[in-house]
Amino acid sequence: MNALSFPTWIIHISSVLEWTIAIWLIWEYAKLTQQAIWRGLAFAMLPALVSAMCACTWHFFDNPPALEWLVTVQATMTLVGNCTLAIAAYQIWRSRATTDREIL
């Protein structure tokens, strides 16, 4: 656990907690507004959360060579997460554009 300083650990852990809370809040927003499209965004956020958890696990065990596979998983989940978030954002934008046209 000495791989990172205490302040850096605080940032890592708070980032994971903030991301978890953001997923939960978006899920609740989807329920409140009855708009299932927002659930897609919550699901799209999960790979990025997995990526962050991989990074924290890697650092928690002092970056051992035996766990180098976590670095690959973390990088892959970052790529997947960026793609899923872009898709979810596009779907939300598209659904809003459709709704806006219906109002006019």
Global pTM value = 0.86
Per-residue confidence (pLDDT) for residue 4, from 0 to 100: 86
What is the pLDDT, as a whole number, of residue 103? 59
Question: What type of residue sits at position 38?
Answer: W
- Per-residue pLDDT tens digits of the chain, which is 104 residues long: 677 899 999 999 999 999 999 999 999 999 999 999 999 999 999 999 999 999 999 999 999 999 999 999 999 999 999 999 999 999 999 998 876 666 55
